[in-house]
Amino acid sequence: MRKALVVGGAGFIGSHLCGALLAEGAKVICVDDFSLGTRENISDSRKNENFRLYEADASKEDVLEQIFDKEAPDYVFHLAANSDIQASASNPEIEYKNTYTTTFRVLSCMRRFGVSKMFFASTSAVYGDQRDVLLDENTPNLSPVSYYGAAKLGSEALINAFSYMNDIQALVFRFPNVIGPRLTHGVIYDFIRKLKKNPQRLEILGDGKQTKPYIYVSDLAEAILRFKETGRQGVSLYNVGVEGDTSVTRIADIVCEEMGLSSVQYDYTGGEGGWKGDVPRFRYCLDKIHGAGWKAVYTSDEAVRRTVREIAAGGDIHV
Amino acid sequence: MRKALVVGGAGFIGSHLCGALLAEGAKVICVDDFSLGTRENISDSRKNENFRLYEADASKEDVLEQIFDKEAPDYVFHLAANSDIQASASNPEIEYKNTYTTTFRVLSCMRRFGVSKMFFASTSAVYGDQRDVLLDENTPNLSPVSYYGAAKLGSEALINAFSYMNDIQALVFRFPNVIGPRLTHGVIYDFIRKLKKNPQRLEILGDGKQTKPYIYVSDLAEAILRFKETGRQGVSLYNVGVEGDTSVTRIADIVCEEMGLSSVQYDYTGGEGGWKGDVPRFRYCLDKIHGAGWKAVYTSDEAVRRTVREIAAGGDIHV
């Protein structure tokens, strides 16, 4: 790989990936519209002469075409998406534009400019609510319950067809919740924000029993780099995850511990999910990626604790 | 059902459905942009006072909203799509706009205007090339090889999410090849057109061994009407098909017989599929829909023969 195009490169995961790619010596072209990504996220990368930034909306056809034409990347990492499921629950148009259409535009440009290798950031949300199933890559009946999951599953379908029709080699990872520095939303972020405002009480959406695996972002970036050149034709799909999982109440406990707060009262809003479209728990079978020789460094609980430490210590939380 | 909105109602399948709905006494609002649909297809329906036509592009947000607002349908049949897989193979944008985006717009309008029942025309193409698998509704690893199949699978994903989030009751049929009067493209149409031009020789794409089930359009319309009010919450998904299947060479034989042509020389272009993205054969498990009490009247071969008779006799083929 000589030149990597990272679409959504100033976002939470994308910015970590840009950093890891630069550390490997790659030239990195970052495209971001700064709808969720920030300049702060890529402030270190921007000091590197191998890094170039385009502020551009990847859902717009001509914009992305100009970048492909000018830069001629040989690998595309597509991480542009709305990553805030809760936000799109009240406005599905966000997923249509930012998640599905960006994928269609990226693939159309790859087809047109003959770029034959890509990575795609998919999600556990494509499985829908199959809480009693140990989810592996061959699990049937993928029935997303969120607009986010639907747009990601639609994107996977596009990748299959474009890969077949244009001999594109695609690596697709289905992520669980990803956490770590530069997180901009989600339960950990919310708890810290709320507790900075009021250290006595904490509102918890749902019954607190929602339990999911949380992966640390550096583990994920390392996995992407490790698998990016698999040399296999077609689409290679992996569930990427960690050992263990963490309940929402356990997250609240860790946040309180790390912030040095005791006797915080938890106020549960009740119900199984935090909001409609939230999948209260899921379990991943990781045999495929473990069999390929990769394991996450941090467990789910460790990932949560590290994240809380970094975020609570920083000044980035807007109360 | 008092008032049905049929999106893509002037198309091949849509127009038969409009006719069947009117025969049941429903009010029918037909939306079509006449990209593939024709006024000829709905000439009978237009004489019925319960029929109203909007010439409109359902991929445009405001257009469809105005129609929902004005007509307040209580059931939506969504059949708008690019149905010509071969055409979109060279221009995937067609599927993005006509197949995926129309679905997103229809669902967004249903969400906004509180319409809670729908039918969606899906396809065997969502399965991809799984030629050695007896395909049932629980078959895993749906990996479309055509842009058409990808846009339909993406549409199914949208339906799952919109159904869950907005309590929409959706009936989804995965069709095999559908044939009958008003067919505008496909192998039967092509063979008749070619033989009218040159009754001595017939070019056949592929090796002629591509073998698929062909369902007669009236069988399909009847199935849609039979199942449209299942009363079940969420998404009800069925493979819809026929007994038997028909090879491309067998279709050529039937076309020649029905056109009274003997000793036509077949020129095969060779290769397994007719074009890239063509799935050369597939087999459907029909246990679910048969178990629900429905069976097609015509076998695949009978459907082909009836279609050839009607189309060869008509003056609609443009040589």
From the CB of residue B202, how many other CB atoms can be counted at a distance below 10 Å? 19
Asked whether the beta carbons of residue B142 and residue A165 sit closer than 8 angstroms, the reply is: no
Minimal CA separation from A311 to chain B, in Å: 32
pTM: 0.96
* pLDDT at residue A60, rounded to an integer: 94
Minimal CA separation from A48 to chain B, in Å: 37
Amino acid type, B173: F
**Helix (H) or strand (E) run with residue A160 in it:** helix A147-166
Asked whether the beta carbons of residue A150 and residue B144 sit closer than 8 angstroms, the reply is: no
Q: How far apart are CA B32 and CA B34, in angstroms?
A: 5
Q: The tokens 């229809």 sit on which residue?
A: B106
**Helix (H) or strand (E) run with residue A102 in it:** helix A102-113
Cβ proximity of B290 and B241 under 8 Å: no
At B203, is the secondary structure helix, strand, or coil?
Answer: strand
Two tokens, residue B106: 């229809």
B50 touches chain A (CB under 8 A): no
Provide the angle, in degrees to the nearest 10, between the axes of the packed helices B147-166 and A147-166.
170
* pLDDT at residue B316, rounded to an integer: 57
Two tokens, residue A224: 């992407």
Nearest beta carbon to residue A138 from set B96, B126, B141 = B141
**Secondary structure tally for chain B: helices H, strands E:** 11, 15
Chain B hits for A155, Cβ within 8 Å: 154
Nearest beta carbon to residue A104 from set B96, B111, B155 = B96
Phi and psi torsions of B182, nearest 5°: 80, 10
Amino acid type, B146: S
Q: How far apart are CA A183 and CA A307, in angstroms?
A: 9
Each residue of A193-245: pLDDT tens digit?
999 999 999 999 999 999 999 999 999 999 999 999 877 789 999 999 998 99
Two tokens, residue B254: 């039937």
3-state helix, strand, coil in chain B (%, to 5): 40, 20, 40
At A86, is the secondary structure helix, strand, or coil?
Answer: helix
From the CB of residue A69, how many other CB atoms can be counted at a distance below 10 Å? 11
Q: How far apart are CA B63 and CA B156, in angstroms?
A: 23
Amino acid type, A232: R
**Secondary structure tally for chain A: helices H, strands E:** 11, 15
Asked whether the beta carbons of residue A153 and residue B149 sit closer than 8 angstroms, the reply is: no
- DSSP H helical ranges for chain B: 12-23, 61-71, 85-88, 93-94, 102-113, 147-166, 187-197, 217-227, 248-258, 287-291, 300-313
Q: How far apart are CA B118 and CA B238, in angstroms?
A: 14
Q: What residues 257-296 of chain A have any CB closer than 8 A to a CB of chain B?
A: 276-277
Asked whether the beta carbons of residue A140 and residue B145 sit closer than 8 angstroms, the reply is: no
Q: What is the pLDDT along chain B (319 residues), one digit of tens a residue?
A: 799 999 999 999 999 999 999 999 999 999 999 999 999 999 999 999 999 999 999 999 899 999 999 999 999 999 999 988 888 999 999 999 999 999 999 999 999 999 999 999 999 999 999 999 999 999 999 999 999 999 999 999 999 999 999 999 999 999 999 999 998 888 999 999 999 999 999 999 999 999 999 999 999 999 999 999 877 789 999 999 998 999 999 999 999 999 999 999 999 999 887 778 788 898 999 999 999 999 999 999 999 999 999 988 775 555 5
Q: How far apart are CA B169 and CA B183, in angstroms?
A: 30
* pLDDT at residue A38, rounded to an integer: 96
* pLDDT at residue B19, rounded to an integer: 98
Q: Could you give the C-alpha distances from B150 to A39, A45, B59, B145, B277, in angstroms and in order?
A: 35, 36, 17, 7, 11
* pLDDT at residue A72, rounded to an integer: 98
* pLDDT at residue A317, rounded to an integer: 59
Pick out chain A residues at pLDDT < 50.
Answer: none
Minimal CA separation from B271 to chain A, in Å: 16
Q: Is the dihedral of CA B118, B121, B127, B132 positive or negative?
A: positive
Chain B hits for A142, Cβ within 8 Å: 142, 157
Q: How far apart are CA A39 and CA A14, in angstroms?
A: 12
Q: How far apart are CA B86 and CA A118, in angstroms?
A: 26
